[in-house]
Structure 1
């Protein structure tokens, strides 16, 4: 099936799958369906799942595939309107006041109009996402929304309901065309239902073994087939050990890349011990894998691959 041309939206679920796959994002049909519907219905897409499963990557791939600008709002605790939406260029405003004083300008209304005009407005991600773009509406990524507080969530309701924001000095700015909104959370806390209701929802899970193997093949083409199979089988087993932080697909790719750079062709206990920092990020998890549990998992992987190979 031919890939849709840049800047045109896919016209079916199959076209959506092809569009993502053409940019090395392998999506299951359920994920491709909700992406297609979000594009077709112009609804925000709310993606939830553990860190490292590819939620943010969806927004990046869509921006590239559709030829749209990617505008990213990285959320964090304490995020406020001035950082997310807009602020005024105070140094430039002060300079304008000083120049007006030097020139003897006394028209206060005119001065205020000059101070609070577009030329002194600093557009932050939200306002950028509502602005017109030559290539079409941008992809607006609101990343890790669960890191913010409920007050900021409430502020987003106006954005997601009407795709507009009110600036007291300028009035209401409304998007000529709604941006393609992708919201991600790692579920460190629950996001309010009022915001979720405005979105289409999808839980992004860890990929099945066959899909993860194909991702490794595409993302790390220098990785040998045997090593790729062992990496995927081993990582899949680790995710069943109830670690503090399971390795995501991003960590699988990092580990495969590291092992390829070290010219490894197969897994062994020493190799795992030396490179496990590319896969696991918490010392307690690393200690478990460097002990008997890690060795048992590796022995099981070797036995399973021998049985099928």
Structure 2
């Protein structure tokens, strides 16, 4: 839905390069004192194992980390981004200079474990709503500096991106409505001021507010913390309109209640926990051989 980032392979590679540059500067600083114990011309071969079932994500970041330190390293992936791996499966193999691989290991795995965790969690939520019209959507509740990376991971898990930031779409919440003087007033202002926005969405908390928003011409409405019976009524009210709005659910969404929410007939369910409450996927790098200068 967003136009502010295209998520093409080239754009992802560029994003990963920038993210990794910051991460390596943070970790390596003036040099890796421990890797310095290894001869500079020592070669190495290693593989990375997944310790649990997961949806893999982070290939560009792994490659950026390793190739930044050894441009001649060779990486062979067994599972691509968006693909599923099983516990104890080899996700990728790498050959290169031992020093470089040892220094890059933690940065590469940090990105791989975080982004795979987001993709895996998203895929779990997507599976629960399968067969309904509801899309699983992320939010702005992301790790500072890693928003685009996490939103890419949501896509790898089968989810949908909400707005990227405050600059590309309008999401009118209760404080905006209060400051503007009401639902109709704030929507009128948005129509004048936000013509370049990807979309304009307004948040409502009651069926009365929904009726006001729909009467004012809202094209996208966020139903905040509504009960399942109220959501069914909201869908019915919206369907009765000649030009129905896109309806989105937000607030208090849990995996246990997710299917019931999706079966109300809403279009989207936005979930902050996809990116803010994730448990890192467990990966481990193991060196297989250390033999001479890498080819």
- Normalising TM by the smaller chain, what interval? under 0.3
TM-score normalised per structure 2: 0.26
Instruction: Report the TM-score when normalising by structure 1.
Output: 0.25
Structure 1 or 2: larger strand share? 2
- Of structures 1 and 2, the larger Rg is shown by 1
| Larger relative contact order, structure 1 or 2 (CA cutoff 8 Å, min sep 6) | 2
